[in-house]
């Protein structure tokens, strides 16, 4: 007689992407038997995307490391934790003693933001290293947004979030939330929310060089030449001022420099923007008028507009258009969140800019980080401060940063490299030691960062779904132990940190929903534990008067660094002659793909090959190419070969590749990913071509030839 195994049901947030959807996970005999959307989740309302099932695949992946390993030639040898910790600390301390603190570099990958143990504890180790060579995925993603927030509002994470549930008009540039599930706009079930926008007679307008999945459901879609969004927005802002469409009365008392902005953008008319962008002047004026006329509207731009030559200028213009149309700090417009754990007041630094520059190219730091595009040259250029050791956390910069082939080569020349990572991937294959943390379902979870970016104020704490395996370490335990041993080696005293849960509890009890903030009942971890489906704390509300971080409490509309960048736009965007010899390469996002590591799960890579080059049929004919054949795509820094796919859903003169592929490198131990290797778009991205103001990488608008 078969013994029936009883299953248990757990509720958990998915931490693979920013949507943080609630999941219902059934477990039996220590194994996950099903994952589905949590219909009672207060935020995601039962929504789930294919990536959530990867949590089960990740847990069961035979390629995932569970014990520390060190590289011996081309082989890997398991270590016990004490031996691994001592080896790492000894090598880092030796290199620091011999070559100085800046000889050690740190790189934090995108998944670091999805794990609150890394957020709370990584600096317990890294502050001891005191290196200026700190890097992260921010400078291939959202650095312009953070810089603009710092300059205008006084804090790098004081970001106005679209109030998608109450808006009447949504203008979206360089964003594809139907595929990405939202970004710097934590918004689960975005397709349904956009459908609800239409049901209340609202309008969605998408500006993109490709007819994306989001553009397919929009009321309007306008193709735009890659890298020219700043010209479009300058024309729109010019129209708002020129036609007297400003609506700033509610904000006048906290606006500084608005007249300077009006004067500075006066030369940039829609008529000048039209030939640059490919959108005619009448449509540019209509976009401005429609947004101004809406009862409540949003102008929102995401990664596609950040990762271009004028990314910072573009993000500033988005903020200014929301301010000038009266949609800043307005219900249905863009608003600041009021998260239960207020990171702005509990340790997340406001930021600083240009306090020092990179050693070789003098690129400016932002909040203690240098642009990741300069990492390779800092490794390969001899002299004092040359990077000789690298510590990576949850990152794969060989596939995610500019000129990946150059970085790949640079990593092979390091004296020492250590990675906190569960895989031997394209980057970590160069490591001397890899320290694998527990899997996501084996530790507790709280969305520290993404609640700050959410379209509704919510909070949710989840205990582990599965027990921590014997002899395993959580991320925060790895950082704590390394910090303790390094402090001892350096003869430095440091206080032992509390656990992430203890830090969370302390932050909640001084947060905006605490007794300390005047609430009748205390929001703490104990109370949050009782709400397995999450706690809804209400819609976003106007709060700018109390939230601006500048000492004078005013929004700085005209940061001098940004107004000065208008001269570069005049010369390079409006004044430069355009070459017609090159096609312009842009990236793209797909629902089953996020970062390179989830390509090792069969259910997410099965089916037709998605690592293909999109190209307009007219461009195919003009280059004597045929749909489906292999083509060579070449840029200044590299070349790749992949199949081409004809589509009328892309602007003529533009080609598109997906992000995160390129797994066919020697030494990678991700078997499914290698069987679906594809090629890396970032092998074509120029490390020398950056947004000059912020140092952010240019991933969209890369000149290429196709043969």
pLDDT digits (tens, 9 = 90+) for 584-637: 999 998 888 887 878 999 999 999 999 999 999 999 999 999 999 999 999 999
The candidate with the shortest Cα–Cα distance to 22, out of 460, 325, 563, is 460
Residue 237 binned pLDDT confidence (cut-offs 50, 70, 90): very high
What ranges do the domains of the chain cover?
8-60, 69-141+343-456+473-491, 160-335+548-568, 579-706
Residue 1 binned pLDDT confidence (cut-offs 50, 70, 90): very low
Choosing among 3.40.309.10, 3.40.50.740, 3.90.330.10, 3.40.710.10, the CATH entry for 69-141+343-456+473-491 is: 3.40.50.740
pTM of this structure:
0.97
Long-range contacts of 243-250 (CB under 8 A, 24+ apart): 243/285, 243/288, 243/289, 245/288, 245/289, 245/292, 245/324, 245/325, 246/324, 246/325, 246/326, 247/292, 247/324, 247/325, 247/326, 248/323, 248/324, 248/326, 249/326, 250/326, 250/329, 250/330
Choosing among 2.40.40.20, 3.30.70.580, 3.30.565.10, 1.10.1380.10, the CATH entry for 579-706 is: 2.40.40.20
CATH code of domain 160-335+548-568: 3.40.228.10
Mean pLDDT, residues 164-182: 96
User: pLDDT at position 476, please?
Assistant: 98
Specify whether the CB–CB gap between 608 and 681 falls below 8 A: no
The whole-angstrom separation of Cα 125 and Cα 487 is 9
Question: Is residue 579 pLDDT above 80, yes or no?
Answer: no
| Tokens encoding 584 | 């312009």
Question: Is residue 580 pLDDT above 70, yes or no?
Answer: no
pLDDT digits (tens, 9 = 90+) for 366-421: 999 999 999 999 999 999 999 999 999 999 999 999 999 999 999 999 999 999 99
User: pLDDT at position 3, please?
Assistant: 59
**Mean pLDDT lowest among 45-54, 237-246, 418-427:** 45-54
The whole-angstrom separation of Cα 93 and Cα 71 is 19
pLDDT digits (tens, 9 = 90+) for 261-306: 999 999 999 999 999 999 999 999 999 999 999 999 999 999 999 9
Specify whether the CB–CB gap between 420 and 109 falls below 8 A: no
| Tokens encoding 642 | 């992949």
Residue 263 CA, distance from chain mean position: 34
Question: Is residue 530 pLDDT above 60, yes or no?
Answer: yes
Question: Is residue 146 pLDDT above 90, yes or no?
Answer: yes
User: pLDDT at position 521, please?
Assistant: 81
The whole-angstrom separation of Cα 318 and Cα 305 is 10
Question: Is residue 2 pLDDT above 60, yes or no?
Answer: no
Mean pLDDT, residues 14-22: 93
Mean pLDDT, residues 196-207: 97
Q: Please report the beta strands in 128-213, taking only residues with DSSP state E, as ranges in sequence order.
A: 134-136, 161-162, 169-173, 203-207
Percentage of the chain lying above the pLDDT 90 cut:
93
| Tokens encoding 559 | 């940061």
Choosing among 2.40.160.50, 3.30.200.210, 3.90.550.10, 1.10.10.10, the CATH entry for 8-60 is: 3.30.200.210
């Amino acid at each position: 007689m078969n013994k029936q195994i009883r299953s248990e049901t757990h509720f958990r947030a998915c931490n693979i992407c920013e949507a943080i959807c609630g999941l219902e996970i059934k477990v039996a005999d220590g194994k996950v038997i099903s994952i589905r959307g949590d219909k009672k989740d207060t935020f995601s309302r039962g929504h789930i995307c294919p990536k959530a099932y990867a949590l089960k695949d990740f847990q069961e992946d035979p390629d995932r490391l569970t014990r520390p390993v060190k590289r011996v030639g081309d082989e890997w040898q398991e270590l016990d934790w004490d031996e691994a910790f001592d080896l790492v600390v000894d090598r880092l301390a030796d290199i620091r003693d011999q070559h100085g603190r800046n000889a050690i570099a740190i790189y934090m990958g995108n998944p670091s933001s999805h794990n609150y143990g890394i957020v709370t504890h990584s600096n317990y180790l890294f502050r001891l290293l005191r290196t200026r060579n700190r890097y992260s995925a921010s400078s291939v993603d959202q650095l312009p947004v953070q810089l603009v927030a710092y300059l205008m509002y006084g804090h790098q994470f004081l970001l106005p979030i679209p109030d998608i549930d109450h808006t009447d008009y949504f203008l979206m540039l360089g964003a594809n939330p139907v595929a990405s599930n939202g970004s710097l706009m934590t918004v689960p079930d975005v397709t349904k929310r956009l459908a609800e926008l239409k049901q209340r007679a609202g309008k969605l307008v998408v500006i993109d060089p490709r007819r994306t999945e989001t553009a397919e459901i929009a009321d309007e879609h306008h193709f735009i030449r890659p890298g020219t969004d700043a010209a479009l927005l300058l024309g729109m802002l010019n129209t708002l001022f020129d036609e007297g469409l400003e609506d700033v009365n509610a904000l006048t008392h906290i606006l500084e420099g608005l007249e300077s902005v009006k004067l500075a953008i006066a030369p940039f008319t829609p008529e000048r923007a039209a030939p640059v962008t490919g959108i005619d002047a009448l449509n540019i004026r209509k976009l401005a008028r429609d947004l101004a006329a809406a009862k409540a509207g949003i102008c929102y731009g995401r990664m596609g507009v950040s990762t271009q030559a004028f990314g910072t200028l573009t993000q500033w213009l988005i903020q200014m258009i929301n301010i000038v149309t009266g949609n800043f700090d307005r219900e249905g417009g863009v608003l600041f969140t009021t998260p239960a754990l207020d990171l702005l007041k509990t340790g997340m630094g406001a930021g600083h800019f240009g306090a020092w520059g990179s050693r070789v190219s003098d690129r400016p730091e932002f909040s203690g980080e240098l642009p990741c595009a300069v990492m390779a040259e800092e490794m390969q250029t001899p002299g004092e401060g040359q990077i000789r050791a690298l510590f990576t956390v949850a990152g794969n910069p060989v596939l995610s940063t500019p000129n990946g082939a150059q970085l790949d080569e640079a990593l092979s020349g390091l004296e020492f490299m250590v990675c906190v990572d569960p895989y031997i991937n394209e980057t970590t294959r160069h490591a001397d030691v890899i320290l694998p943390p527990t899997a996501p379902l084996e530790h507790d979870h709280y969305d520290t960062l993404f609640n700050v970016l959410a379209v509704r104020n919510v909070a949710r704490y989840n205990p582990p779904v599965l027990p921590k395996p014997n002899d395993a370490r959580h991320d925060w335990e790895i950082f704590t132990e390394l910090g303790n041993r390094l402090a001892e080696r350096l003869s430095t005293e440091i206080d032992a940190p509390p656990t992430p849960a203890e830090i969370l509890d302390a932050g909640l009890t001084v947060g905006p929903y605490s007794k300390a903030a005047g609430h009748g009942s205390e929001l703490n971890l104990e109370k949050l534990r009782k709400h397995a489906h999450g706690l809804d704390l209400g819609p976003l509300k106007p709060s700018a008067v109390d939230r601006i971080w500048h000492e004078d409490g005013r929004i700085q509309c005209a940061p001098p660094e940004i107004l000065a960048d208008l001269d570069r736009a005049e010369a390079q965007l409006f004044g430069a002659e355009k070459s017609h010899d090159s096609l312009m390469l842009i990236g793209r996002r797909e629902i089953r793909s996020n970062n390179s590591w989830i390509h090792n799960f069969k259910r997410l890579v099965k089916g037709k090959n998605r690592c293909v080059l999109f190209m307009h049929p007219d461009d195919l004919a003009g280059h004597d190419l045929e749909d489906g054949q292999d083509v060579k795509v070449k840029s200044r820094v590299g070349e790749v070969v992949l199949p081409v796919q004809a589509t009328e859903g892309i602007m003529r003169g533009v080609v598109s590749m997906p992000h995160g592929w390129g797994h066919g490198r020697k030494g990678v131990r991700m078997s499914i990913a290698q069987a679906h290797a594809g090629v890396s778009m970032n092998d074509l991205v120029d490390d020398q071509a950056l947004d000059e103001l912020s140092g952010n990488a240019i991933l969209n608008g890369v000149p290429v030839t196709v043969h």
